[in-house]
């Protein structure tokens, strides 16, 4: 693809994500489907809710894996190595997203991307090194950078899930000191629906809030764009900074603009994790050997289109949807009827 065409497409995607983050704040975009599971005596059904949060999260996981496969393969890593990395990292980080939230917030039904990322920071370098040792191919720093950039893409897209569920929400614009409140007022977002977390946890339904989900999606989109260009140009260290440092520093800064519960500390555990993680990534980037790499777009595309690649992406989507899509905090009662006018 022509470089300027790619950049125009990247700008368009970032703009689309910003727009979607605002649309998804509406009440319509929390529950995608209700699945009847048990009938009551009055004929209604108790149902479980399949959420847009789960669908968008599954899409984010799948997109991140696809980007990792493409970038890794394009840099010379074997498909087996990238598939193994994806399997190990997801197997560790998906449960960690719930476990860390329980440890920090004391809530068993909550997921945290920040906690999962913190765990991944310590696991992924070792997995990248083992993948190179067992399967050869690209040096481990380049595959590590590919995974870091892929994570940035995934979390940016995944913030749309937060917009849908109404979690990870920003502070009321009115609570900001001047001139911040004047700057934020034109782009403030309002969430609607009593089952949105922002409504039942903080009573902020309809209140103009800092659009932190959309802002995070845009920041991650721009950072990922820079990381991809750095990798394609062979700058592995720079790509690690884009994918592994800048998103963590944004988390530290952005949490000052958030209103959702993240523990009792003024400087949250997730902010401390992010600072430690950013320092760790910088240390890894400094310690990793300097390497020269080149990117092959044809090989990247083949890795994603291969039967193994497509099967992996389908499996990731299915598992992620089951894990994140069945709502733990909302319920439904469904009444079924026959449309007599269509008989």
Report pLDDT digits (tens) over 284-318.
888 766 677 788 888 888 989 999 999 999 999 99
Q: Check residue 115 and give its pLDDT.
A: 66
Cα 85 to Cα 246: distance, rounded to the nearest angstrom: 22
The pLDDT of 34-51, averaged and rounded, is 92
What is the CB-side half-sphere exposure of residue 146 using CA atoms within 13 A? Answer: 33
Is 56 a member of any domain? yes
Q: What is the pLDDT of residue 141?
A: 84
- Do 273 and 114 meet the contact criterion of CB atoms below 8 Å apart? yes
The strand ranges marked E within the chain are: 31-39, 45-51, 332-334
Residues 273-307, buried b or exposed e (16+ Cβ, 10 A)? bbeebbebbeebbeebeeeebebeeebbeebbeee
With respect to residue 302, please indicate whether it lies within any of the assigned structural domains.
yes
CA distance 150 to 63: 8
CA distance 205 to 193: 7
- The fraction of the chain above a pLDDT of 70, given in percent, is 92
Q: What is the pLDDT of residue 298?
A: 86
Structure confidence by residue, pLDDT tens digits, 150-169: 989 988 998 999 999 998 89
* pLDDT value, residue 283: 85
Assess if residue 18 is contained within a domain.
Answer: no
**What is the residue whose two structure tokens read 């389908």?**
314
Locate 209 and state its tokens: 């809030």
Helix axes 236-244, 212-232, angle to 10 degrees: 170
What percent of the chain stands above pLDDT 90?
38
- Strand, coil or helix: 37: strand
- Supply the pLDDT for residue 114: 62
Q: Is 271 exposed, middle or buried (0-12, 13-18, 19+ CB in 10 A)?
A: buried
Predicted confidence at residue 58, as pLDDT, reads 93
Strands 332-334 and 31-39: unpaired
Answer yes or no: is pLDDT of 226 > 60. Answer: yes
Residue 145 lies in a domain: yes
pLDDT value at 118 more than 80: no
Q: How many domains does the chain have?
A: 1
| Region of poorest pLDDT, from 121-135, 139-153, 178-192, 244-258 | 121-135
Q: Give dist(CA 10, CA 4) in Å, integer.
A: 10
Question: Is 197 inside a domain boundary?
Answer: no
- Please report, for residues 25, 30, 32, 248, 317, the alpha-carbon distance to residue 166 in angstroms, rounded to integers and kept in the order given: 7, 8, 15, 22, 22
- Do 167 and 261 form a contact (C-beta atoms < 8 A)? no
Residue 182 lies inside a defined structural domain of this protein: no
Stronger pLDDT, 9 or 58, i.e. the higher one: 58
Categorize the per-residue pLDDT at 106 as very low, low, confident or very high, splitting at 50, 70 and 90: low
In a domain, 218, yes or no: yes
Contact 148, 247 (CB under 8 A): no
User: Which residues pair with residue 39 across a beta bridge?
Assistant: 45
Mean pLDDT of 19-24: 94
Q: Give yes or no for residue 105 having a pLDDT over 70.
A: no
Q: Which of 337, 335, 296, 273 is nearest to 36 (CA)?
A: 335
Within-domain flag for 70: yes
- Structural domain of residue 277, as residue ranges? 48-170+211-334
């Amino acid at each position: 693809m022509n470089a300027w065409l790619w950049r125009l497409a990247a700008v368009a995607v970032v703009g689309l994500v910003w727009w979607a983050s605002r649309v998804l704040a509406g009440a319509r975009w929390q529950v995608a489907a209700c699945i009847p599971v048990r009938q009551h005596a009055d004929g209604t059904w108790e149902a479980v809710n399949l959420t847009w949060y789960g669908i968008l999260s599954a899409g984010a996981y799948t997109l991140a894996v696809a980007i990792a496969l493409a970038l890794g393969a394009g840099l010379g890593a074997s498909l087996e190595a990238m598939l193994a990395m994806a399997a190990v990292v997801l197997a560790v980080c998906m449960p960690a997203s719930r476990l860390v939230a329980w440890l920090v917030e004391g809530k068993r039904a909550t997921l945290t991307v920040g906690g999962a990322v913190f765990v991944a920071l310590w696991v992924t370098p070792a997995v990248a090194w083992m993948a190179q040792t067992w399967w050869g191919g690209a040096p481990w720093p380049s595959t590590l950078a590919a995974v870091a950039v892929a994570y940035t893409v995934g979390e940016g897209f995944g913030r749309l899930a937060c917009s849908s569920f109404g979690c990870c929400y920003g502070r009321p614009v009115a609570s900001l000191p001047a001139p911040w409140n004047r700057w934020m007022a034109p782009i403030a977002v309002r969430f609607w629906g009593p089952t949105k977390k922002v409504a039942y946890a903080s009573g902020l339904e309809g209140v103009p809030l800092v659009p932190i989900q959309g802002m995070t999606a845009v920041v991650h989109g721009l950072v990922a764009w820079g990381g991809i260009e750095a990798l394609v140009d062979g700058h592995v260290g720079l790509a690690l900074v884009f994918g592994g440092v800048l998103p963590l520093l944004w988390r530290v800064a952005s949490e000052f603009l958030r209103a959702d519960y993240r523990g009792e500390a003024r400087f949250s555990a997730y902010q401390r994790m992010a600072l430690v993680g950013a320092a760790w990534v910088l240390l890894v980037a400094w310690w990793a050997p300097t390497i020269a790499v080149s990117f092959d777009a044809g090989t990247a595309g083949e890795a994603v289109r291969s039967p193994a690649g497509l099967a992996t992406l389908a499996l990731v989507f299915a598992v992620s949807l089951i894990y994140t899509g069945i709502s733990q905090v909302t319920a439904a009662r469904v009444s079924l009827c026959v449309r007599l006018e269509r008989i």
